[in-house]
Every structure is written in C-alpha cells, then in structure tokens.
Amino acid sequence: MAEHRSAIGRDRRADPRVHHVSERPRLLILVTLAEAGGAQTFVAALAEGLKERYHIDVAAHGPEGALADACARLGLPFHHIPSLRRAPHPWRDFRAGLEIRRLVERVRPDIIQVNSSKAGFVARIALRRRSVRMVYVVHGWAFRRGGLGSFAYAQAERATAPLTDAIVCVSERDRAAAEARGIASREILHVVHNGIAVPERPLLRGRWPDRPVLVCVARLAPPKNLQALLIALAQPGLEPWRLRIIGDGPDRPRLEAQRAALGLGHRVEMLGERRDVDAQLIAADAFVLPSDSEGLPYSILEAMAAALPVVASDVGGIPEEVVDGTTGVLVPRGDTGALARALRELHAHGEGARRMGVAGHARAREGFSREAMVERYDAIFRDLLKKAIPGEIRPELAQVDHVTAGVEAD
C-alpha cells in the first residue's frame, strides 16, 4: 500500500517524461479529505473508470482513509496534502495552496479535476497563473445550506469561477442555483449525474419482516441532521423499526446522548465506519437520509442498487434520484412528523415497500450507471484538451486577482 502514497514534503524525483495531450493525458484528481464520503466515492469510481485512458494521480488530506485505500486497490498514486483541511484557517489554507502547487509541478498534469468547495477554492487560487486546464465538480453548493455564511460562500464561488474551464454540477437543481446566483455562465456549467455499478438483477428479499431494519449511511455531522431521524424514530407506531447508522464524525457524542435520552439504545446501533457497507445494505429493509442539504448523494444510489426503498429529504438532487411514491418517499427537510409518517406507512405496506426497492434498482441501472458518468466526464476532459491554453493569465482574471490577493497575504 505504501508504494502508492507520497507526502508533499517528501523528496521525490520529478518524472522526466514530457506528457503531450496527444498521448494518454495525465489527470490529477483532487478532493479535500481522504475519509469515507460521497465525494470520495465519486473520485474512486471516476478514477477506476478512466484509469485505462489517463495517467491518474489522486490527492487529498490523508495520509490514511477510504480514498487512500481505494487508490492502493486500483494501483493509483495517492498524494497526501498535509495542510488541506475542511475548516477555514488562513495560514494553513495558504500552506495547502503551496503544497498543491508543488504537487502540480511534480506531477505536471494536463488537466486537474477538483472536488468539494474547500479544495476547489484553494486549488483554483493557488494555480490561477498556471497553464493547466481546471474542471471543478460541485457536490452540492455550500451557499445553498443557508445560514450566515451563505453570502460569503456565493461570493467566493463567483470570484473563482473565472479560474475554471468547466464547472460540473451533479444535479439540475445545483446548475439552476448556480445560474440564479450568477456564479458562472451557462457555457461552462455542465450537469453530470453521479453513477454507480448496479447489479443486473435486483435483490429479492422475500416477505416483509415484523421488525424491519432501517439503515442510514452518513457522516455524523451537519448537514445530515441525524438528530431529526432519532426524534422521528421515537414517535409512536415506529417501535418495530430497528436502525443501523453507518458512519462517523463530530456529532457522534451528541447523537449517542440523544439516543439514550430518547430511550432508543435497544433499537439504534451506531456502527461507525464500516468496510462492509454493501453487506449492511443487503441485510436491511429500507434506507433513510434526513439531510438538510445535499448534492446527488452516492449513499442513495448505493441503496437503490441494493433494491431498498428510500426515505429522504426533498433537498438538492435527491428528487432526481428518488421518485416520490414509486422508488421511495420524499419528506420536507427537518420535518420529523413527515419522516415518522413515511416510516409508519412503509411498515404498514411492506409488500409495496419491496416493490419500491425493485423499482429503485431499475431506475439506478437505467439512469445512473457508472459507465454513462465516466463517458460524460471523458468527453468534457477531451473537449478541453483540444483547446489551446493561453501563455499568460487571461485578462478577465484581473478582477479575481484583486478579490483573492488578501487570501494569500493572510
């Protein structure tokens, strides 16, 4: 495993080969963290689908994590970026930019594909004078989460959009939000749904059980809102349900305390990070995701591939995955009463819930295949690689330099 990983500060010879775009191009995929999550699942899926067409390097803050493990399995170089973290920190973010620059100088990619708002902002600022094509994939706009930071997030996205050759949204809702906020022009905005490998035939589970198992795969942190799920599960009529929560994060102590306070200790298992998520989905009867905001969550696609009915919040791109009343049930975000009613109805009509799961499998297979996703990204990359890169910074970026000068000075 170690031979596929490198740290930014480590001495490593630069590859002496010159990579011409007419040959197999070199692609650098960057995401903020290597921990388990939807963006990391996307990176691993895209890298696996493209590794025969591109020389691929993957970079994130690690040095360990689910993404680093996936790179080792795929035989792809993984680069640990020590200073790249989720929380804003001026000096650390500045160091992260320098580390990304040094990585780019060593790897010399023909194209960079960057994921998540934090990595997207830091990388685009750090590389704004570098002659390299940049594709930014948005796994849900941060400014759509609301709160005091919404305006600042939108300003940051508008300022860095001119540094981007293509911006890919994972849902139509996110593309529409970008246009409405004036983030970027329609010319550089694309929509590519996340894709997943789906079994040819759906799993047939048999009779609905008296004590069904509900599973949730999520990071225990905002905006997943698992607090609402526990409140809903404690309501009358839901006593038969057992819940298994897969994932970890900073909200775990608070969720454990809430579980105890609601008297759910015997019905709710908190399993932490697991390597057997597929097996956990197979063993479940339904899937739930009560998020306050989302892009196009992979966890739902994985549940659909496993032929599970899905109960989820009507946010982000989730309505583009889940057909309300056909493959699952959509509820308003934060509405614990609606969430409880949806779970009550699923259990009351178990055979209908089974049919929803089978319909979800068919929808995932027809509309969210990994092959279709890979082909769309390959087409975007190839189109950009055909275009000449100006030898110096583009004139329209002068305003971006003005906006971002203070970031580097901090």
Q: What is the pLDDT of residue 75?
A: 98
- Is 86 strand, coil or helix? coil
Q: Report pLDDT digits (tens) over 346-370.
A: 999 999 999 999 999 999 999 999 9
What is d(CA 163, CA 170) in angstroms, rounded to the nearest whole number?
Answer: 20
Confidence tier at 387 by pLDDT (50, 70, 90): confident
In 189-335, the DSSP E strands lie at 189-191, 213-217, 242-246, 268-272, 286-289, 310-313, 328-331
Pairing mode, if any, of strands 133-138 and 111-115?
parallel
Residue carrying the six token digits 């600042």: 152
pTM metric for this prediction:
0.86
Provide DSSP, 142-156.
GGGG-STTHHHHHHH
Sign of CA dihedral 220, 224, 227, 231: negative
What is the dihedral angle through the alpha carbons of 410, 93, 164, 151, rounded to the nearest 10 degrees? -70
Q: What is the pLDDT of residue 393?
A: 43
Mean pLDDT of 55-78: 97
Residue carrying the six token digits 């246009």: 179
The mean predicted confidence, pLDDT, of the chain is: 90
Q: Report pLDDT digits (tens) over 106-162.
A: 999 999 999 989 999 999 999 998 889 999 999 999 888 777 778 888 999 999 999
Nearest alpha carbon to residue 220 among 139, 284, 290: 290
CB 147 within 8 A of CB 176: no
Higher per-residue pLDDT: 227 or 403: 227
CATH code for the part of the protein at 2-195+370-409: 3.40.50.2000
CB 314 within 8 A of CB 332: yes
Confidence tier at 402 by pLDDT (50, 70, 90): very low
Pick the CATH number of 213-367 from 3.60.130.10, 3.40.50.2000, 1.10.3720.10, 2.40.420.20: 3.40.50.2000
Percentage of the chain modeled with pLDDT above 90: 82
What is the token pair recorded at 157?
Answer: 């996205």
Higher per-residue pLDDT: 374 or 22: 374
pLDDT at 3 over 50: no
Domain boundaries, the chain: 2-195+370-409, 213-367
Q: What is the pLDDT of residue 131?
A: 87
Q: What is the pLDDT of residue 390?
A: 57
Residues in the chain, overall count: 410
What is the token pair recorded at 126?
Answer: 């750090």
What is d(CA 205, CA 284) in angstroms, rounded to the nearest whole number?
Answer: 9
CB 277 within 8 A of CB 287: no
Q: What is the pLDDT of residue 88?
A: 87
CB 226 within 8 A of CB 296: no
What is the token pair recorded at 158?
Answer: 């508008």
Percentage of the chain modeled with pLDDT above 70: 89
pLDDT at 32 over 70: yes
Contacts of 230 (CB under 8 A, 6+ apart): 255, 258, 259, 262, 264, 268
Higher per-residue pLDDT: 144 or 21: 144
Confidence tier at 14 by pLDDT (50, 70, 90): very low
What is d(CA 262, CA 317) in angstroms, rounded to the nearest whole number?
Answer: 31
